[in-house]
Amino acid sequence: MGDPMPKFMTDQLFIPDDINPRFPIVVNMVNEYTYYYFNHTIYRYIEREMDTDKTELYRLAFNISSMAIDHYLDLLFILDTNNNLFVISMKTNFVKLLAPNVTDFEYSNNNLYALPNLRSITFTKPSQICLYHLDSYIECSATDLDVIKFKVDEEYGYISLILQNRSLLIYQDLKMNLKISQQVITRLVVIFRSIS
């Protein structure tokens, strides 16, 4: 997934000594909580003046490969090792399976202060890329590309893909059309070669 800490103020973040960075970790920047997964358990760490408060929040029957948090809505997104994408409402403890067969997901910190209709999470499934608007629906589109990571910036209309061969593809589509295929890539490459 990448670095669980935002790129700003990382020197001021509280990371307890007993956290192993090889396990999923996410930081809630508003409340300054650190959430950490280890041994089927999600823990919350709170820094006190002279101490650390460690609370066991959730005991799970599966292993987690990555986590992300929406601190505004108090939602915890979890991808388990069986490729199931879950969301947990930390206000109500309601757990929902968003999608099975998910290979990767991305919840961008850029969406945290966005208008409600821009709050979304993107994820990839075998031969599909998906966009989930938190207030409405999941939209998936078939693709013949070997996508390993997919991200959408709805505010500016950009879609970015990282392919299996480690190619990065970024394109602008103000209509947010998720239908992208090898044929579209071939046309983009031909256009790029003709202008360079």
With respect to residue 145, please indicate whether it lies within any of the assigned structural domains: yes
With respect to residue 5, please indicate whether it lies within any of the assigned structural domains: no
In one letter, which amino acid is 140? Answer: C
Under DSSP, the state recorded for 49 is S
**pLDDT for position 179:** 62
**pLDDT for position 180:** 61
With respect to residue 124, please indicate whether it lies within any of the assigned structural domains: yes
Q: Domain residues for 127?
A: 62-171
The answer to whether the CB of 46 falls within 8 A of the CB of 53 is yes
- Average pLDDT per block of 10 residues along the chain, 196 residues long: 50 69 80 85 83 86 91 88 94 93 83 58 90 83 87 79 84 61 52 41
With respect to residue 9, please indicate whether it lies within any of the assigned structural domains: no
With respect to residue 57, please indicate whether it lies within any of the assigned structural domains: no
Number of domains the chain is built from: 1
With respect to residue 187, please indicate whether it lies within any of the assigned structural domains: no
The answer to whether the CB of 180 falls within 8 A of the CB of 146 is no
Task: Tell me how far the alpha carbon of residue 160 is from its chain's centroid.
Answer: 14
Instruction: Give the CATH number, domain containing residue 97.
Output: 2.40.128
With respect to residue 191, please indicate whether it lies within any of the assigned structural domains: no
**pLDDT for position 185:** 54
**pLDDT for position 62:** 92
With respect to residue 53, please indicate whether it lies within any of the assigned structural domains: no
**pLDDT for position 115:** 54
Contacts 24+ apart (CB under 8 A), 154-160: 154/114, 154/118, 154/120, 155/110, 155/114, 155/118
Backbone angles phi, psi at 79, to 5 degrees: -110, 120
